[in-house]
Amino acid sequence: MSGHLYISSPNVVTWSGFKDSETDTEVNDATLTMSLFNQTTKSPIAAGPAVDKGGGKVGIPCTAHDQVEDDYIRMEGSQSYNDEFAVHADTTANEIVIVATFIAESFLGTEKIYIGVINGCNISLPYTDSPGVYRGILPHTLGRLVEYAANQEYGGLTTTGLYYLFVKAAKDTHKQSKRIALQAVYDS
């Protein structure tokens, strides 16, 4: 995935020059989505296994996480679960339950779980009829995302002062993801 990301007022996100990295040609028929996450992460319990909860659900060990049904998370560093997920109602204080195909894995504690910003996840960036250009809008209902100072306590998390905008692209059977660090993304 290549190209340039622009964020303009009012909250318009544009991916310009989206190209196939193998052929260096512009791609006009991919599916692009974006999600906004706090840079602050939580980690699964060291040596904790993924748990087959049945019915297409998987338990991810995560001590005292405070996530509730319909929150959005993104996992990175896992062997099998590197993606974005809505938190399922079966979640407990020490286990985040997601809807996914179970694949046995023991987490090392080095994996990252990013916490999604309310109303800021899985937003479509549709093609704009200009070669390689996709555009979407971060909703105003995101509320106020402030520029937190590093190491500030906020909602039980120690902040780092940044947000991550993840852009996912899919075409045919190929999927790619790109993470962009942002500061003071939206201030109403």
Q: Which of 37, 56, 44, 47 is nearest to 95 (CA)?
A: 44
* Residue 182 scores a pLDDT above 80: no
Q: Which of 30, 77, 47 is nearest to 173 (CA)?
A: 30
In DSSP notation, 115-182 reads EEPTT-SSEEE-B-SSTT-EEEE--GGG-----PPTT-EETTEE--S-EEEEEEEEETTEEEEEEEEE
The pLDDT value recorded for residue 188 is: 38
Q: What percent of the chain has pLDDT over 70?
A: 71
The pLDDT value recorded for residue 148 is: 47
Domain ranges of the chain: 1-36+119-188, 44-110
Q: Give the pLDDT confidence of 117-162 residue by residue, as tens digits.
A: 777 788 898 999 888 888 888 776 554 454 444 555 545 544 555 6
Which CATH number is 1-36+119-188 given? 2.60.40
The pLDDT value recorded for residue 168 is: 83
Report CA-CA distances (Å) from 43 to 62, 111, 187: 6, 6, 29
The pLDDT value recorded for residue 103 is: 97
Q: Model pTM greater than 0.85?
A: no
The pLDDT value recorded for residue 47 is: 61
